[in-house]
Each structure stands twice: as C-alpha cells, then as structure tokens.
Amino acid sequence: MANTVYLLLGSNEGNRLEWFEKAMQLLQDAGCNVVSQSAIYETAAWGFEDQPDFLNMALCVETSLNPQGLLALTQNIEAQLGRQRTIRWGQRTLDIDILLFNQDIIDTPQLKVPHPQLQNRRFALIPLADIAPAYIHPVFNKSIATLLLECPDNLEVRNYKF
C-alpha cells in the first residue's frame, strides 16, 4: 500500500534550485513517486536569522516506505547533497522535513509527525496550501487552509522570481 506523505524542502546555501531538482530525482530513484509540488517561495531565515534567505517548496509523495524508512532516506539525501548539521536552524544546502504522513500521529525521539511547528510557520503552510489546502491536520482537525489563516507567524513569504 502506498503512503501519502507531504514533505517540505528548504535551502539557503549554494544553488538552491539545483538542490531541489537533485532531491526530487533522488526521491524518485528511491521509489518515491512525486505526485505534486508547490510553487517555490522565498523567505527570510526563521530561528537563526543572520543568514541568507531560504527557498521552500512542498511535495506530495507516494511511497511504500514506513515513516522511519522515509526519515532515513531523507536524511541520506540531505547528506548526499552536502548538508552539515552544525548550528540549529543554521544555513544548509538542503533540508527535508516530513510534514505529514497519511493521517498518522508519530511521536518518537527521532521523528514527530505531523511536524510539531507546522501550524506556526507560514513558510511551510503556504507551499503546503498550494497542493493540499483541504487536507485535515490529524491533531488540530483543521484544514491546512484554515491553519494558514490562523497562523501567528508574520514572516513574509513571497513567490520566488526565477
């Protein structure tokens, strides 16, 4: 059975668009079917702000991997593409967050799904709303579109101009 998963890609180092293209190819190569993708958005860094702007995009992926297998795959892709985990919320070539996994609620030391800060981050909600506005968040029982309307984050998120 295929699992439906929503991922958020983020990058603020090097050729940001190239990292996204390579990540999508590596996901496909690993048997993950990219069903849809959002527009690409640019936003100032969140958390640790003294760094370059981020690009973000959301993907809907179908995979036979379980949550832990998908986490291992995404972390492997990040490492292949040069991700260094040195500073929390720091600059990076590529970050892949698992936002939603079916309607599952997962709470382990390694993985928390739905992403625990999704409802507080416009840079994640806006691209997710592009591809899944009616998706009901399994914890809050609200649509992604509603969570976006209620989001307390005021960080500007703008369409990326190629």
Instruction: Tell me which of 70-74, 86-90, 154-158 is least confident.
Output: 86-90
Q: In this predicted structure, what is the pLDDT of residue 52?
A: 83
Average pLDDT of the chain?
A: 91
Q: Torsion angle, CA of 64/133/88/34, rounded to 10 degrees?
A: 30
Distance, CA of 153 to CA of 121 (rounded, Å): 6
| Residue range of the domain that includes 151 | 3-159
Domain count, the chain: 1
What is the CATH classification number for the domain harbouring 21? 3.30.70.560
What percent of the chain lies above the pLDDT cut of 90?
A: 75
β-bridge mates for residue 4, sequence order: 62
Please list the active-site residues. Answer: 83, 92, 95, 97
The DSSP letter of residue 27 is: H
Nearest to 120 by CA among 94, 97, 154: 154
Q: What is the pLDDT of residue 148?
A: 98
**pLDDT surpasses 80 at 35:** yes
pLDDT tens-digit map of 38-82: 999 999 876 666 678 889 999 999 999 999 999 999 999 998 887
- Residue 117 clears pLDDT 80, i.e. is over it: yes
* Alpha carbon distance 133, 142 (integer Å): 10
